[in-house]
Structure 1
Amino acid sequence: MEFNKTEIREDYWCFVPAEKISFSEFEKLDYQCWCDNKKHDIEVVLEINEKDCPKEPSARQIEIMDFIYQNQKSIINSIWKYYNDLIIPIYDEAVGLEDEWIAKDISEISKIFGIKKIEIPTYDYNCSYFRIELDFQYDCEHGCYILFKNNTPIDFLEIGTKSDDAIGLYENGLGNSDKSKFSISINELNGKNVFSGDFYDNEEISFELKKGVYRIYYTVNSSNCIRNIIVDSDKEIFTLKHILTNCIET
C-alpha cells in the first residue's frame, strides 16, 4: 500500500493511505452532529515522529492499521460495552439523559456515534494503541476520542483535550520522581468522596469499593490528574494501578 505525507494542520504531519480504505463495519456508525446528508469517508492517519524524518510509516503502524481493519466488529462491540459501562453513567449524572437519548441495544449505536477518523500514533509496543475520533450525540460541539489498547477502550476524551497519558498507565504504571506515594481521592460521579489516602501504585489497599463508575483525583510529580474509572466488581483489596486501568490486566 502506498501512502502520502500530508500536513493535516500546521506542523502536524501524517501519512495517509493513497487510496481509500473501505471500513464496511465502521461505516455503519454514521451519526452526524451537523448532518449534511452526505456520506463521509473515514479518514486514516498514521502519525509521524518528525525527529526521525521517516519516508514511510513504520511497519508497526501498518500492522496496527491491518489489526483495526480485521477487527472492526469486535471494536464496535467494545465501544458498545464502554458506552454502557462508562459513558452513560457519566452523562446521565451530568445532564440527566432522557430515555430517547439512550441506545437500547447495539443496533441503535449509530444514533449516538459516527466514526470520523482513525489515528495511529508512533508508539512501538507489543499491543496496538490507536484513537478513534467520533461525532457524538451527547456533545456535538466537541465530539470525542476513544483511545484503544487492542480492541479495548482505555480512555474517553473531548476533541481538543486529546491525551495519550492512559498509555503510560497501562505500560509503565505510575511513578513519582522522588519515589513518594500518590495522594488519591476516589469520588462518586456526583462528587461525593468515597475514599482518600496516600499509596504506591502497586500497594495493596484494603477498602470495600463497590462496583460502579468513579472519578479519581491523583497527583503525579506535582501535576493534578483526573480519570474516570470502571470498577468491574465489588473489591475488598485492590491496587491503585488496577483501578486506574479499569481493572484490566496489563
Structure 2
Amino acid sequence: MQLVKLALKNTVAKFSFTVIVVFIILALFAPLITPFKEQALGEPNMATRLLPPSLKHPFGTDHMGRDILSRIIYGARTSLVTALTVVFLSAMIGVPIGITAGYFGGITDNILMRFTDVFLSFPPLLLALLIASTLGKGLLNAIVALVITWWPWYARLVRSQTLSIKSLAYVEAAKAAGVPHITIMFRHILPSCIAPLAVQCTMDMGSAILEAAALSFLGLGVQPPAADWGLMISEGKAYFLNYWWVPTFPGLFILLLVMSFNLLGDVLRELIDPRLRRRMLI
C-alpha cells in the first residue's frame, strides 16, 4: 500500500499511468467512440483521399481515404492485445523453466540454461524476423515469433531470483517439513519473484508494441486492411514528403504508448529497490 501511495505522488508515474489507461479505454470502447467505424475496419473512401487534418478528420485521411484517427483507435486494440499476449505467454513459459532451473540446480540447471542460451545468442528482433518469415505472414505468427524470442529473459530473471531465495530460512524449513518441491517453488519462492517480474512485464509491454509494429511494418505482422500502427506507417511512408500526416500520427502514438510503459516500469523499479526509493524521496 505504501508503494501505491508513493507511486501516486510521482508525477512521471501519474502521467504514464494516465496515458496507458486512456489507451486501454480507447481500445475497449473503440466501436462506440470511433467516428468512422467502417473506415477503421478497412473500407476505402476514395472521395476523401489524402485530406489534411481538419475538424472532420483531426488526423487527416490516408491514401485510401480512410480516417486516420479512427484507424489509430482501432490500432490501439491490436497493439495492446498483441503486447499483452506476448508478455503473458513469455512469462508462462519462462517462469516455470527459470524457477525449476534455479531450485534444483546441478544438471537440471545446466540443461535448461544451455537451452535458454541458444535463444539468447541471437538478437531478439532478428530471431523474430527469421521465425515470422518462416511461419508466414499474419498476427498470430508474429505473436508466436515474439514469444519464442522473449521467454528466455523471464527464465533468466526468475532463475536469478530463485537462487537467492531458495537458501532462506523459511524455504529450508519447508524442505525439512517435507513440503513437496512443487509447492515450495510456486507457493514459497514464486511470490518473492512477483515484484521484479512486474517491472519486467511493464517495460516489456512497450518493447512488445514496438517490435510487433516493426514486424507489421515489414509486412510480417498484421495484414491489410486491418488497422495496425506499424502497418499504417508502412503504408504511409511513400506519402511522407507530400502528405506528412499519414505516417506521422501512428508513429507518434507508438512513441507515446511505448514511452509511457517504459517510464512506468522505471518508476516501479525505483519503488521496489529500497536504495533507489530513498533517492526518490529526497
TM interval, short-chain normalised: under 0.3
TM-score (norm 1): 0.23
Larger fraction in strand: 1
Considering Cα pairs closer than 8 Å and 6+ residues apart, tell me whether 1 or 2 has the greater RCO: 2
